[in-house]
Amino acid sequence: MKVFIKVAIVALLGVNSLFAAHLEVLAAANLRYVLQDVKSAFLKDHPNDSMDITLDASGRLYAKVTQGLKADLFISADESFPEKLYKANLATKPVVYTQGILVLWSDGDMKVTSLEDMLKAKNIALPNPQTAPYGRAALEALQNSGLYNEVKSKIATALSISQANQFVISRNAQIGFNALSMVRSQKNASILVVDSKLYSPIKQAMSILNSSEHKTLAKEFYDFILSPKGQKIFSEYGYKELKH
């Protein structure tokens, strides 16, 4: 009887493993911290499944997908890159899952109370506007504030929002633009929330990639992000909670 029970348990475990899936998620660098919590909460209800998240600038991830990179889900920092994949028949129609908040911050080097504080800085970290949506928003804010010409020689362009963050932390830049979610927990940070009237809303969208081999699980994770539970996690990290 004991032998039969052991065999039955092994057989059951074998069946469960057949239904386990592994998701490959491509995500904007500004999601570094929030997605770890979203992932953990999701996998609690999917103990047999697993997930890897690749972080980079949205434009760089978009380019990799167009070059043949296979993954399950693309979670961007804007709407344009997922929309391009959709129009190229590489992904589903994108849906907005959150809206980001742009900040100007310093990691203890100086107190940031206004955009004019950039005039006192030697270097200003800014994510590449060509590939990083938060960099695009920052450039727009600089132009609309009338400060761009005065500070453009100080701009240190980073490959991604993560690198822009490191420029400030390492003191290679005294001040920098970033996402609120990336700097909210920095111990010595001085943070200014940039007036949202100075830049277009940072609506972040996602799509399921047509190359996905686990579309059912990808859709479940996609739905979890949009759910009240997922949205609550995003709001805790400094994003604007969607009202569906």
**Tens digit of pLDDT at every position of the chain (244 positions):** 544 445 444 444 444 445 688 999 999 999 999 999 999 999 999 999 999 999 999 999 999 999 999 999 999 999 999 999 999 999 999 999 999 999 999 998 789 999 999 999 999 999 999 999 999 999 999 999 999 999 999 999 999 999 999 999 999 999 999 999 999 888 889 999 999 999 999 999 999 999 999 999 999 999 999 999 999 999 999 998 776 5
Q: How far apart are CA 19 and CA 136, in angstroms?
A: 42
Instruction: Report the alpha-carbon distance of residue 180 to residue 178 in Å, rounded.
Output: 6
Residue 227, both tokens: 């759910």
Residue 86's SS3 state is: helix
Residue 72 contacts residue 218 (beta carbons within 8 Å)? yes
SS3 content of the chain, % helix, strand, coil (to 5): 45, 25, 30
Which residue's structure tokens are 């990290």? 237
The C-alpha atoms of residue 81 and residue 87 are separated, in whole angstroms, by: 10
The Cα diameter of the chain in Å comes to 82
CA 143 to chain centroid, in Å, comes to: 24
Strands (E), the chain: 22-28, 50-56, 73-75, 95-100, 102-106, 124-127, 155-158, 175-179, 190-193, 202-208
pTM of this structure: 0.85
